[in-house]
Amino acid sequence: MIPYLVTAEKTPDAENAQMELIAQMAAQLLAKHYPNYWWMVGWMPGLALCIKLRIMAPDLALQQLIDNHGFTVDCAKAGSISEIEKAVKDGGGEWLERLGLPRSAWKGDMPVALETA
């Protein structure tokens, strides 16, 4: 599955262009390691990725928690692209585990809980 990428803002800014490429890489990596999940990857000023998972929950309270949470990757602190890739892959897997979902292809499972640590 090839991730669908939409760039909301196109400015002639070097950071924006760099982060768009990193976001594309992150989306492709998540789609490869955790297929069939719908990941949303964005970026913020300061070279940070913001990654969320879009999935339906069995109840409204859990749905609101999922909709309002995700994880970030501080690309500025990474020493290499492989460190960014590891942070994206590990963060995605941890987020799935916190929702009681498998670290594999999504097969229609519903999230069961949000473990906060």
Cα–Cα distance for residue pair 88/71, rounded to 1 Å: 9
Residue 92 has pLDDT above 70, yes or no: yes
pLDDT tens per residue, range 43-57: 988 899 999 998 888
Q: Is 5 helix (H, G, I), strand (E, B) or coil?
A: coil
Torsion, CA 5, CA 83, CA 107, CA 95, rounded to 10:
-100
pLDDT tens per residue, range 4-22: 566 656 677 888 888 989 9
Structure tokens at 95: 């987020």
Cα–Cα distance for residue pair 83/29, rounded to 1 Å: 13
pLDDT of residue 3: 60
Percentage of the chain with pLDDT > 70?
86
Residue 45 identity (one-letter amino acid): P
In the block, which residue shows the tokens 């070097």? 14
| Contacts with 112 (C-beta within 8 Å, 6 or more apart), sequence order | 58, 99, 100
